[in-house]
Amino acid sequence: RTTPPRWRAFVFSAKQCATPMGGVLAGVMVPALLLAYVWKVAIASVAVASIAVMILIQPTRTRLDVDRDRTHPVGTGSFLKPLRIAVSRPDLRALAVMGFIYAGAQVTFASYFVVFLTERVALSIASAGFLYAIFSGCGIPIRLFWGVIAERVLSSRAILILTGVCMAIGFALTAQFESAWPFAALSAVTALLGLSANGWVGLFFSEIVRLVPDDQAADASGGGQFFTYGGIMTMPLIFGGIVAGTGEYTWSFYLLAVLCFIGAFQLLLTRPQPAPA
């Protein structure tokens, strides 16, 4: 609503930098609190910070909610409309599938990475936390970088396809992690995943907005986000189930690699359509 179309890729990407910045803080601070105190203090610190932010953002609501329509009817149709828009055309459906896979793979990796490193690669909590900070921290510069070149040097769609391929390579390499690997090699693969798995979200939303009329932008974005959170809710459970069933992380990481490749490939095969007038 407030951003010119030519700046949307950058603004959406810059906005999404908040997520990896939080990941960096978590990777650095939570292990330190865990070692200095008990785990309850580390968890409580996250809860207190979340409540503090919720309170601090309240003064901005008046300005951000200026277009709020208090008379807008809320019913079953209101909830289903974003989903119908998100799957109404092949190009939007391809983005929805991609968002499901990429978001699910990203959060699955973030959820299990530290445990995997400490249990199977035999790293200390501090070293595992450092690698997690690399994974999260790489998301900040890459989101800004993609935001600058998107629709100028490369299309957002091309970057999203490249992202999926890089994620697939990164997960396949992670499946082969061993304690004998040099820490520099572990860091390099982690950085590759940080630059790919953490860099796509802003472009995903800017591409959705580009493909629909302006008056459907909010609904289309909400529908797309429904599918991303569908991946976030289901893929970690599938990953964990495979680990529990096999006793190994290897096949779970290979599954993430295959799914990310599929997400990129089906996006490549779908031709984007111009937004209806």
Q: What is the pLDDT of residues 72-88, one digit of tens each?
A: 777 777 778 888 988 88
pLDDT of residue 31: 81
Percent of the chain exceeding pLDDT 90 equals 46
Q: What is the DSSP letter of 117?
A: H
pLDDT of residue 51: 95
Q: How confident is the model at residue 276 (pLDDT cuts 50, 70, 90)?
A: low
pLDDT of residue 7: 77
Q: Is the per-residue pLDDT at 16 higher than 90? A: no
Q: Give the mean model confidence (pLDDT) for residues 20-29.
A: 77
Angle, helices 90-119 vs 217-246, to 10°: value is 40
Q: Smallest Cα–Cα separation from 117: which of 18, 31, 25, 21?
A: 31
Lookup: tokens for 8 = 């949307």
pLDDT of residue 234: 95
Assess contact for 176 and 202: CB atoms under 8 A. no
End-to-end Cα, the chain, rounded Å? 17
pLDDT digits (tens, 9 = 90+) for 154-197: 888 999 999 999 999 999 999 999 999 999 999 999 999 999 99
pLDDT of residue 68: 77
Lookup: tokens for 122 = 């035999």
**Residue whose structure tokens are 């978001």:** 103
Q: Is the per-residue pLDDT at 38 higher than 90? A: no
Using CA atoms, how far apart are residues 171 and 189, in angstroms rounded to an integer?
A: 9
Neighbours of 250 (CB within 10 A): 15
Residue 53 one-letter amino acid = V
Q: Give the mean model confidence (pLDDT) for residues 131-154.
A: 85
Please indicate whether residue 73 or residue 210 has the higher confidence score (pLDDT): 210
| b/e sequence 189-212, b meaning 16+ C-beta within 10 Å | bbbbbbbbbbbbbbbbbbbbbbbb
Q: Is the per-residue pLDDT at 101 higher than 90? A: yes
Q: Smallest Cα–Cα separation from 6: which of 209, 225, 216?
A: 209
Q: Is the per-residue pLDDT at 152 higher than 90? A: no
> Judging by beta carbons within 10 Å of its beta carbon (0-12, 13-18, 19+), is residue 21 exposed, middle or buried?
middle
pLDDT of residue 277: 58
Using CA atoms, how far apart are residues 108 and 239, in angstroms rounded to an integer?
A: 7
Using CA atoms, how far apart are residues 95 and 208, in angstroms rounded to an integer?
A: 8
pTM, entire model: 0.81
Lookup: tokens for 276 = 């209806």
Percent of the chain exceeding pLDDT 70 equals 97
Q: What is the DSSP letter of 103?
A: H
**Residue whose structure tokens are 């796509």:** 200
Residue 273 one-letter amino acid = Q
Using CA atoms, how far apart are residues 104 and 109, in angstroms rounded to an integer?
A: 9
Q: Is residue 79 helix, strand or coil?
A: helix
Q: How confident is the model at residue 275 (pLDDT cuts 50, 70, 90)?
A: low
